[in-house]
């Protein structure tokens, strides 16, 4: 099976081209097998044909669970589609479990080395601020500055959904105790029936925030696109930041803008690292999709 390793701001995934090769029989199991932190990535993403959009994206976390959306991953999908001539447009829509996402390639490298860096802007749509739709058991629309008991510690959280659930914690210090101890406890807290992604954010100024992310099903990652969007929205909701803010993550900086239209826009990098072959029984080219 052919695969391609790509990353957006250090958030790296294994991508499978299901236009030209069959979809894996067990993508969740394959995600668990391939997502070795030193050799693989943060999960597996399938790039599939769509009956209504340029393509369909399915994303599987390192633990094999399927997630609704990945902001860094979908930028890489856009780059792959354009660079590998699966679309000839620089602006198109990709289908996801969180709904259709509009993408615009700001610089195209289709005629250059695929491994060169591209910049892609994603219209992430409007955040979901209704607690029952996130979903969370916390009250409020949005559930902002709510208190949760975590291992005997009272922690103030603000919840946002970007098509997938997020719990934002504003902290004074970004340390391992927050991320590595509190992160997994919040991910599986009873207040979140479908688990949640957890962002720890330190406000530097109204236009800059430093953050680390504990991703649902994958653990700490170098960056999280939907998480950065959630931090932007939570910062505005709690009057900590402006609607245009830079989020500094371990893998790089993402610029977010929550526009008056209600949509959150996220431009950022997409990089193809390498391609290879993974031995499976699904090794025959998808001749039907090449017709």
Give the CATH number, domain containing residue 168. 3.10.310.10
Q: Is residue 273 within 8 Å of residue 7, measured between CB atoms?
A: yes
Number of domains in the chain: 2
Strand pairing class (165-170; 197-205):
parallel
Do residues 53 and 147 both lie within one domain? no
Indicate the angle between helix axes 71-83 and 225-237, nearest 10 degrees: 130
Region 155-173: mean pLDDT is: 97
Q: Tell me which of 76, 224, 229, 232 is the catalytic residue.
A: 224
Examine residue 172 and state whether it is found in any structural domain, yes or no: yes
Tokens of 262: 């209600």
- Position 1 scores a pLDDT of 87
Q: Is the pLDDT of residue 118 over 90?
A: no
What are the distances in angstroms from CA 24 to CA 15, 29, 31, 116, 215? 11, 9, 10, 28, 24
Residue 28 and residue 91 in one domain: yes
The pLDDT-based confidence of 285 (bands split at 50, 70, 90) is low
Q: How confident is the model at residue 117, as a pLDDT? A: 76
Q: Is 217 left (phi over 0), alpha (psi -120 to 50) or beta?
A: left
159 is catalytic: no
| pLDDT at residue 90, rounded to an integer | 94
Residues of the chain with pLDDT > 70, as a percent, come to: 92
Q: Is the pLDDT of residue 283 over 80?
A: no
Structure tokens at 161: 């959904």
- Is 229 tagged catalytic? no
Instruction: Tell me what pLDDT residue 31 has.
Output: 93
Residue 256: is its pLDDT beyond 50? Answer: yes
121 and 140 part of one domain? no
Structure tokens at 243: 């609607």
Among candidate residues 70, 76, 167, 232, the one labeled active-site is 70
Reported confidence tier of residue 231, pLDDT bands at 50, 70, 90: very high
Q: Does the pLDDT of residue 282 top 80, yes or no?
A: no
Residues 152 and 94 in one domain: no
On whether residue 282 sits in a domain, the answer given is no
Domain range for 97: 2-125+270-277
Same domain, 147 and 239: yes
- The predicted pLDDT at position 35 comes to 87
**Does 290 score more than 60 pLDDT?**
no
pTM above 0.85, yes or no: yes
Q: Are residues 101 and 140 in the same domain?
A: no
pLDDT band at 16 (very low <50, low <70, confident <90, very high): very high
Token match 């001539």: residue? Answer: 85
Judged by average pLDDT, the poorest of 15-24, 146-155, 269-278 is: 269-278
Does the pLDDT of residue 289 top 90, yes or no? Answer: no
Are 135 and 117 part of one and the same domain?
Answer: no
- In angstroms, the CA 249 to CA 29 distance is 29
pLDDT band at 174 (very low <50, low <70, confident <90, very high): very high
């Amino acid at each position: 099976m052919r695969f391609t390793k790509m990353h957006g701001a250090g958030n790296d995934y294994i991508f499978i081209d299901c236009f030209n090769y069959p979809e894996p029989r067990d993508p969740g199991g394959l995600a668990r097998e391939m997502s070795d932190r030193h050799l693989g990535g943060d999960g597996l993403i399938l790039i599939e044909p769509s009956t209504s959009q340029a393509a369909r994206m399915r994303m599987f976390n390192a633990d094999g669970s399927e997630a609704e959306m990945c902001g860094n991953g979908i930028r890489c999908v856009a780059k792959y589609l354009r660079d590998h001539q699966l679309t000839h447009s620089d602006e198109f829509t990709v289908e996801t479990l969180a709904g259709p996402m509009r993408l615009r390639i700001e610089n195209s490298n289709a005629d250059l080395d695929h491994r060169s860096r591209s910049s892609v802007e994603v219209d992430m749509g409007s955040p979901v601020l209704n607690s029952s739709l996130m979903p969370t058991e916390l009250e409020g629309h949005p559930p902002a500055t709510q208190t949760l008991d975590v291992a005997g510690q009272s922690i103030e959280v603000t919840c946002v959904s970007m098509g997938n659930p997020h719990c934002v914690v504003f902290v004074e210090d970004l340390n391992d105790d927050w991320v590595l101890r509190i992160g997994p406890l919040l991910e599986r807290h009873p207040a979140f029936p479908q688990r949640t992604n957890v962002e720890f954010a330190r406000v530097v100024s109204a236009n800059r925030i430093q953050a680390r992310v504990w991703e649902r099903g994958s653990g700490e990652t170098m960056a999280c696109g939907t998480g950065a969007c959630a931090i932007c929205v939570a910062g505005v909701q709690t009057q900590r930041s402006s609607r245009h803010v830079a989020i500094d993550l371990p893998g790089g900086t993402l610029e977010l803008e929550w526009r008056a239209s209600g949509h959150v826009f996220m431009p950022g990098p997409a990089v193809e690292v390498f391609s290879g072959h993974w031995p499976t029984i699904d090794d025959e080219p998808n001749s039907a999709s090449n017709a």
